[in-house]
Structure 1
Amino acid sequence: MIADLTMSLLVVLAGAVGMLLLLLTWFGGRTITPEIEDELDPILGARDPIAIYESHGPYISMPDHLTTSEQMVDWMTKELPKLTAEIANPRH
């Protein structure tokens, strides 16, 4: 009788702790996004996303003819390093 009562209380306690952890996981990671009303904000405003990259240095866009992920990975591992090396070391 006491063993059954103890097991029942442990199950209820474990369930309560589990639900608390689930709620903390669900609601704890959410953040409040600030409301920015500036129209010139580079992230939320009307600026072109490429202009953001260009303002921080060279931007190399991926060619449009790449359609599969294998083609994209192949381009990023073979051609992109050559292009970035040319930008880092321009020929005179």
Structure 2
Amino acid sequence: MADLAISLLIVLAGAVGMLLLLLTWFGSRSITPEIEDDFDPIVGSRDPIAIYESHGPYIPMPEHLKTHDQMVEWMTKELPRLTAGAATPRG
């Protein structure tokens, strides 16, 4: 009976030791995420404006629109008129 208890304690100690080894080996990588700035195009407060300006006209949704129905009505009635006016070449 004592041999069985000692064997179980050795197995338990080995499992805990392996768990601690894995945590020290892989734990630091999971705590500090690696962020690569090359993949994130928006890094500053001025960058969204530059992105919108580079892809053509940007028409923001008016602030007074609060409900879903108001937004849908604006997008179906006013937005096509605004985009048609912005699509014509000036010059």
Could you state the TM-score of these two structures normalised by the residue count of structure 2?
Answer: 0.51
Could you state the TM-score of these two structures normalised by the residue count of structure 1?
Answer: 0.51
Q: Which has the higher contact order (CA 8 A, sep 6+)?
A: 2
| Counterparts of 1:37 and 1:90, CA distance in 2 | 36
Q: Which has the higher helix share?
A: 2
Which one-letter code corresponds to 1:35 in the other structure? I
Percentage of matched positions with identical amino acids: 66
Q: What's the RMSD between the two structures over aligned residues? A: 2.5
Residue equivalent to 1:65: 64
Runs in 1 of length 4+ with deviation above 3 angstroms? none
Which one-letter code corresponds to 1:66 in the other structure? L
| Counterparts of 1:51 and 1:76, CA distance in 2 | 24
User: Larger Cα Rg: Structure 1 or Structure 2?
Assistant: 2
Cα drift, residue 90 of structure 1: 4.7
Residue equivalent to 2:44: 46
What does the per-residue CA deviation read over 1:65-85, in whole Å, with 9 as the maximum and x for residues that have no partner? Answer: 000010000000000000000
- Flag structure 2 segments of 5+ consecutive residues without an equivalent: 1-33
- Count of residue pairs brought into register by the alignment: 57
